[in-house]
Amino acid sequence: MEHDQGVKAAIVIACRDAAVREVLEQELRKRYGADYHIVVSDHPAELEIRVKEVLAAGTPVALVIGEVGAQDPDDIEVLAAIRAIDPTASRVAAVRWGEFEAARPLFDAVTVGKIDHWVVQPVQARDEGFHRAITGFLSEWDSRHGGGFEAVWVIGERWSARSQELRDTFSRNGIPIGFYDAAVPPPSAAGRCSASSAWCHRNCRSSSSASGRSGQRWSTRPTWRSPTHSGS
């Protein structure tokens, strides 16, 4: 599904803590306000309403960012529920630095597909670690919607640990990627693969997942190489 490049997408935030919410809004609005609508809610329970309002206005939703803490584990379920409203939006859990007890539930939620990503809340102005993560999430969303150049295609099971590892690794290193679910590839990806299936079999790197579960496979393909390239 491609989005109109002339339409600004939205970043929707839901956060109970006023101080944290203010920092999140300031950082996101300052860095991304020119290209994205920043929509803010003061309670995670209102997240569904805000997303529905944005979609009803004809605005695509790029990221849904919800505060998740050790004392509020149900907020993961709030983010998970967004998938039924907008399956294309990336759901991001924002956690406080130092809340290590919340780490395991977040890892589990990413593994089973309840959320797409997690990020540590900014702890200061110009928190570049936070912005590197957010920029990577936006780049991934943009690539999935036909929004830009893809240096590498990652094809695999959407929620497998290996697929997540590859997506995070490329994003952290500033490499623009396109991720395609091996189970239900979008038409654009299917067309690319069918046009050069023989090349892909020769050059795509594949591996079974470390967990040993059947059917979990992934591949990466550098898109700058021609399908007719005969080199190794």
Residue 204: the pLDDT is: 46
85: region left, alpha or beta (phi > 0 left; psi from -120 to 50 alpha):
alpha
| Reported pTM | 0.63
151: region left, alpha or beta (phi > 0 left; psi from -120 to 50 alpha):
alpha
Domain assignment of residue 118, yes or no: yes
| 79/172: higher pLDDT | 79
- Distance of alpha carbon 194 from the chain centroid: 26
Q: How does pLDDT run across 133-182, given as a tens digit for each residue? A: 999 999 888 877 655 566 777 888 866 788 878 877 876 676 767 777 77
How many domains does the chain contain in total?
Answer: 2
CATH of the domain at 18: 3.40.50.2300
Residue 174: the pLDDT is: 65
Are 27 and 133 found together in one domain?
A: yes
Are 127 and 14 found together in one domain?
A: yes
